[in-house]
Amino acid sequence: MEKTVIGIIGCGTIANSAHIPAYLKNPDVRIKYFCDIIPEKAFGAVEKYGCGTACTDYHDVINDPEIDAVSVCTPNRMHMTITCDALAAGKHVLCEKPAARTYADALKMQEAQHKYGKTLNIGVVNRFSSAVRKIREMISNGDLGEVYHVYVSFRQQRSIPGLGGAFTTNAISGGGVLIDWGVHYLDIMMFCTGDPRPETVSAKAFCKLGVDMKNYVYEGMWAENTKDLNGTYDVDDFVTGFVRTSGPTVTFNGAWAQNIGVGESFIDFLGTKGGIRLNYGSDFTFYTTGGGKLVSYKPEFKPNDMFQEEIDSFVRAVRTGEKQPSHIDTVIITAKMMQAMYDSSAAGKEIVLE
């Protein structure tokens, strides 16, 4: 079978740290284009990886009949437009998370996938983590009994990315800590508990600690290179909420920044027979009882490179038509839930989902 021909659209952090290296390791793939509106990034990638052609207009990529599929690694604002254009041009798409800035945009992407019939996966990469998959398996096997509540915490003292840049400008990102980090945590909650149906959502998002950009105190800043202290800061740096689903209830607290000097990144699954604490991006502990005693241990699983698995699965989907758990049809529910969280915050009341 011929190699799958790929175009990379957006050659920034995630493209260089995850997508490109993983495609290069896949023997069934050839990268033909590196596209970025900043020419140095596109040409820099060609030079760095010693393959492909540089371009600055994504239409050049999607109009090339030789291209089978694209990775969309641009800021959130462009996800919907590029994805829909690529699907309409007959290309398969792996679009980075979040699917889009808004639920309405994510729905347009889903409609385009249904209309043109090509694969559309979203970069909910934790669905390819062996630790997360093990938890899903344990929950579906009944090891935890009934999972009645999930508690989620993603809080850091100072972790606002690129202050004033794309990540903190609502018109580009669609939100702050909830849409940027929360999307991963809520997705893990959904995946592990069998993608339950969200029923009601109550949330409050705060825009507090980054507002005074010039006096924001921090030691290091992720995405520092996109910082612009004359730019915009109008997104949430703290979020809290409560969700009822057809499965467990969920509470969550997330902070890009907080005046507490201890960070937390975990998801607790509370079941009637046992509970699990997943340390995000790492291992997990199972708590239960046995022989009249409290027992806890770390179940064995083989750690994997979830980004490699995500890319390999996408390539498999392109080549075989196999549907992945990161398909837009699954991810759309989390997009709906997150939109309801922002809507609940703006309206100051609980939202009932259809």
Contact residues toward ligand NAD (CB under 6 A) are 9-15, 35-38, 41, 58, 73-76, 78, 96-97, 123, 125, 166, 180, 226
Report which secondary-structure segment, H or E, holds 249. Answer: strand 249-255
CA nearest to 9, candidates 37, 41, 40, 35: 35
Of the two residues 174 and 247, which places its CB atom closer to ligand NAD in the complex? 174
Q: For the CB of residue 255, give the shortest distance to ligand NAD in the complex, in Å.
A: 18
Least Å from the CB of residue 347 to ligand NAD: 26
CB 341 within 8 A of CB 178: yes
Q: Smaller CB distance to ligand NAD: residue 282 or 289?
A: 282
Nearer to ligand NAD, 246 or 279 (CB): 279
Closest CB to ligand NAD among residues 245, 326: 326
Q: Which two tokens stand for residue 57?
A: 């207009």
| Phi, psi angles (nearest 5°) of residue 241 | -170, 170
CB of 187 to ligand NAD, least distance (A): 10
- The CA radius of gyration of the chain, in Å to the nearest whole number, is 20
* Nearer Cβ to ligand NAD (24/223): 223
For 116, the token pair is: 């043109």
- Both structure tokens of 290: 């046995």
In the complex, what is the shortest distance from the CB of residue 20 to ligand NAD, in angstroms, rounded to a whole number? 11
Q: How far is CA 57 from the centre of its chain?
A: 25
Residue of minimal CB distance from ligand NAD?
Answer: 12
Q: How far is the CB of 288 from ligand NAD (least distance, A)?
A: 31
Determine how many CB atoms are found less than 10 A away from the CB of residue 152: 24
